[in-house]
C-alpha cells in the first residue's frame, strides 16, 4: 500500500510541475548537448488488455494523450488503449505476477516504468516505449547557434532593395529578431502575400513538438493573424497537418501587434523532423517571427 501511495504522489508532483511550467511560461534555451528532460515511459504489451481494473474510459484521444491523463490521475496505475477506436481505459492496478492479460487484437496494454533522464528524445523514440515529456522548452529556432540558418527555408522571401531596407530571408523569421543588419527587415516576409507561402525549420533529429510562439514584424505594422502548422514525421513521410481532438486541421489565431509573443499549443504532441508554418490571414502583409516548443 505504501509503495502504491508513494508512486501516485510522485505522479501528482510531476503533473503539478508540468502545470506550473505551462501557467508561468517557464522556458529556456539550452544547447543540444546539455539539455535533459524528465520523462515517464510506458512499456507496451501489444494485443493485450488488463480487464476488470478499469475505472474510466475516455474516447477520441491518442495514446500519448491517454498516458498524460493516466499520469495526472491519482488512481491510474496503467491503461489499455484501443488504437482502432481511440479509446483510453485507465486502470487502478497493474499486471501482477501470475496475472494473465487478455488477448484483444485492437488493444495495447501500457504500464508505467521507472522515471528516467533522457538527453535526447531519440533515446525514447528509438525504443519500444511510449514516452511523455513532463516539461517542454524552446527548441532553438530563436538562436542560430542551435538551429543554423541553413535549417530554415521558405516558399519565397522578400527580395526588395537592400539599400532601402526591405529585404528578408528565412533567418529573419527567428523569434525576437530585430532590424539590425543593414538592408534587412525585422521578420520573414514572402515575395508575394497569398496562402501558398510558408516558412519551415528542419530539426534534423526526431523531436516532440508541443506548440508555437509567434511575433509580427519588428519594424512595421505587419503580422500574421491566422495560420496552420504542418510537419514531416520520421522516415521522410508526407507533410501532415496538426490536428485537433476531432481530427480536423487546427487553425491557430496569431498576432494582434508587431512585437507581442503569442503562444499556441497543439492538442497533442507531434513527432516531427520538420515543421512548417503556413500563414492564412494577415495584417498589412505576411510577416512572421517564430519559435517552437517541445522536448528535444
Distance CA 134, CA 131 (A): 9
Residues 82, 179 within the same domain: no
Q: CA distances (Å), 289 to each of 27, 185, 188, in order?
A: 18, 11, 6
Q: Give the burial class of 250: count Cβ atoms within 10 A of its Cβ; 0-12 exposed, 13-18 middle, 19 or more buried.
A: middle
Q: Which of 148-152, 159-163, 164-168, 243-247 is the least confident region?
A: 159-163
- Tens of pLDDT, residue by residue over 11-21, are 554 444 344 33
- What does the alpha-carbon distance between residue 252 and residue 227 come to, in Å, rounded to a whole number? 5
CA distance 43 to 260: 42
What is the rounded CA–CA span in Å between residue 29 and residue 75? Answer: 35
Three-state DSSP at 207 gives strand
The neighbour count for residue 243, using CB atoms within 10 Å, is 15
Taking 50 as the threshold, does the pLDDT of residue 36 lie above it?
no
Name the nearest CA neighbour of 228 among 246, 248, 245, 208.
248
Give 229 or 18, the one with higher predicted confidence. Answer: 229
Contact between residue 258 and residue 215 where contact means Cβ atoms under 8 Å apart: yes
Q: Cα separation of 78 and 43, whole Å?
A: 10
Which pLDDT does position 38 carry in this prediction? Answer: 38
User: Can you give the CATH number for the domain in which 284 is found?
Assistant: 2.60.120.260
* Domain carrying residue 197: 149-295
Record the cell numbers describing residue 30, joined without a space: 539550452
Find the CATH number of the domain harbouring 91: 3.50.4.10
Judgement on whether residues 263 and 167 belong to the same structural domain of the protein: yes
From 112, 135, 158, the end of a domain falls on 135
Last residue of a domain, one of 135, 162, 177: 135
Q: What is the pLDDT of residues 88-111, one digit of tens each?
A: 999 888 887 556 789 999 999 998
- All three cell numbers of 163: 539599400
Rounded Cα–Cα distance for residues 268 and 287 (Å): 27
Residues 110 and 169 in one domain: no
Specify the higher pLDDT residue, 35 or 138. 138
Residue with cell 517552437: 292
pLDDT tens, 190-222?
A: 999 999 999 999 998 888 899 999 999 999 999
Q: Which three cell numbers stand for residue 19?
A: 502545470
Instruction: Decide if 135 contacts 38 (C-beta within 8 A).
Output: yes
Shared domain for 46 and 163, answered yes or no, is: no
One domain for residues 37 and 168: no
Number of domains, the chain = 2
Amino acid at each position: 500500500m505504501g509503495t502504491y501511495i508513494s508512486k501516485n504522489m510522485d505522479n501528482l508532483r510531476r503533473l503539478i510541475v508540468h502545470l506550473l511550467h505551462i501557467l508561468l511560461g517557464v522556458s529556456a534555451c539550452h544547447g543540444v548537448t546539455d539539455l535533459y528532460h524528465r520523462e515517464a515511459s510506458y512499456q507496451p504489451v501489444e494485443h493485450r488488455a488488463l480487464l476488470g481494473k478499469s475505472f474510466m474510459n475516455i474516447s477520441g484521444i491518442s495514446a500519448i494523450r491517454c498516458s498524460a491523463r493516466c499520469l495526472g490521475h491519482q488512481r491510474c496505475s496503467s491503461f489499455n488503449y484501443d488504437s482502432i477506436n481511440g479509446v483510453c481505459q485507465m486502470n487502478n492496478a497493474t499486471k501482477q505476477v501470475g496475472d494473465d492479460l487478455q488477448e484483444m487484437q485492437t488493444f495495447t496494454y501500457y504500464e508505467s516504468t521507472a522515471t528516467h533522464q533522457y538527453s535526447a528524445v531519440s533515446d525514447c523514440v528509438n525504443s519500444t516505449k511510449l514516452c511523455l515529456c513532463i516539461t517542454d522548452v524552446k527548441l532553438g529556432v530563436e538562436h542560430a547557434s542551435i538551429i543554423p540558418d541553413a535549417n530554415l527555408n521558405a516558399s519565397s522571401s522578400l527580395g526588395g532593395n537592400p539599400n532601402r531596407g526591405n529585404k528578408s530571408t528565412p533567418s529573419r523569421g527567428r523569434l525576437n529578431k530585430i532590424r539590425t543588419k543593414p538592408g534587412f527587415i525585422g521578420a520573414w516576409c514572402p515575395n508575394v502575400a497569398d496562402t501558398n507561402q510558408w516558412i519551415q525549420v528542419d530539426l534534423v533529429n526526431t523531436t516532440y513538438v508541443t506548440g508555437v510562439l509567434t511575433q509580427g514584424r519588428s519594424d512595421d505594422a505587419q503580422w500574421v493573424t491566422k495560420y496552420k502548422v504542418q510537419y514531416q514525421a520520421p522516415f521522410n513521410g508526407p507533410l501532415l497537418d496538426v490536428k485537433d481532438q476531432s481530427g480536423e486541421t487546427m487553425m491557430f489565431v496569431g498576432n494582434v501587434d508587431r512585437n507581442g509573443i503569442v503562444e499556441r499549443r497543439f492538442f497533442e504532441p507531434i513527432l516531427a523532423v520538420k515543421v512548417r508554418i503556413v500563414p492564412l490571414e494577415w495584417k498589412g502583409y505576411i510577416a512572421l517571427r517564430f519559435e517552437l516548443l517541445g522536448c528535444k
